Structure 1
């Protein structure tokens, strides 16, 4: 056998070995997704000052730490709205955590103030779809959501201390839990980092139901 033939035979054997390894990997069962962290203190994050969507006596509560300027938060938003539509016994508690700067903070303050007009759900939707968070963009989002802008400004001024205290408390909770960015969610006691597939959220909702 010439050196060329020997080299070709060796390459063929290596190719066969690689193919066997690949088939073996395909036949292996897919690894289970990692179990989310369990946060026993999750109920303490349900602050009565925070906006909510869904029934107060919900079977499953999702606590959402988000920022209106966060691209991943915006991408997650439709999934959460779809969850609420599919599960009438699920609620979301909105813990606004404006980590993207002053514009994010102002948007969060206005969103919280909009609860005084019972327009938070619509305003939250408009803010998540807004192309920016400049004052004209915020006003446009308010108009789209049916929010009375002059009254919103009055409510923001009147309740500024309470709103700012809520944001400060949210920041303390987030840092105490080791959060470094948004979005972060607690589905019941289960911690979810970043945007995850909607199917994963559905699975966690099912797990929370089993805890009852």
Structure 2
């Protein structure tokens, strides 16, 4: 069982927090294929959807939390949208912990379960303990999660570092940022997501 004490003593929780919260010295050239096809990045919605939404998010971002249910609704109703989740924990150390928990849950097929739980944590700045409690309240296997965090810590950290480098290369300035086809946008409501998806489809058809 993961407790606050043993989780925060684990190797996964301690990995590279400072580098993740810092910016690289220089931005890298944008690698579109790496952004759209990172094999380690969690994918939601329809993996073969005709429109892709790349979502750069932080679990302590109030605007991410407001957008999350709106995006989920549009993706579910549309049925032909691919979502690529880019955990980008830039707001606090607890954001890094939240991202690690969500990505650790991916190995038992529970990324979106963890993602939704963390997006529903109330408050502007959730603590590390708040993040952990949110995950413990789900049906995820906590023993398996601890093992996956321990065993896949380097891969999780590498993915978070790639997400950070990609965000830097794109010149992103904050969360949430959504790349919808050729468009870039911030926080949207249901109607906003529907419109930008329609615009992306129209642009692709030309």
Same fold? TM cut 0.5:
yes
Q: 1:197 aligns with which of 166, 172, 189?
A: 189
- Mapped to 2, the partners of 1:112 and 1:177 lie a distance apart of 22
- Report the Cα distance in structure 2 between the residues aligned to 1:197 and 1:118, rounded to whole angstroms: 28
1:133 and 1:159 map into 2 onto residues whose CA distance is 24
Q: 1:41 to 1:202 in 2, by over 3 A?
A: farther
Alignment RMSD, CA only?
Answer: 1.7
The CA deviation at 1:119 is: 1.1
> Could you list the runs of 5+ residues in structure 1 that have no partner in the other structure?
1-39
Residue 202 of structure 1 deviates from its aligned partner by: 1.2
Alignment-derived partner of residue 17 in structure 1: none
Shift of 1:154: 1.1
1:148-200: per-residue Cα shift (whole Å, max 9, x none)? 122111101111111101100110110111111100010112111x2133322
User: Counterparts in 2 of 1:1-212, with a 5 A limit?
Assistant: 42-46=32-36, 47-131=38-122, 133-192=126-185, 194-210=186-202, 211-212=204-205
CA apart distance, 1:43: 4.3
Query: For each residue in 1:7-66, what CA deviation from the matched residue of structure 2 results, as whole angstroms up to 9, or x when unmatched?
Result: xxxxxxxxxxxxxxxxxxxxxxxxxxxxxxxxx964431212011111221111100001
Indicate if the aligned counterparts of 2:45 and 2:76 stay in contact, CA closer than 8 A: no
Task: State the TM-score, normalizing by the size of structure 1.
Answer: 0.75
SS state at 1:164 partner:
helix
Cα separation, 1, equivalents of 2:128 and 2:60: 14
Contact 1:52 1:92 in 2 (8 A): yes
How far the C-alpha of 1:81 sits from its partner, in A, is: 0.8
Q: How many residues align?
A: 172
List per-residue Cα deviations over 1:108-167 (Å, max 9, x = no partner). 011011011111111111111113643432332223321112211110111111110110
Q: Which moved more, 1:152-161 or 1:197-206?
A: 197-206
Does the CA contact (< 8 Å) of 1:65 and 1:94 recur in 2? yes
Unaligned runs of 5+ in 2: 1-29
Gap change, CA 1:198 and 1:136, over 3 Å in 2 = same
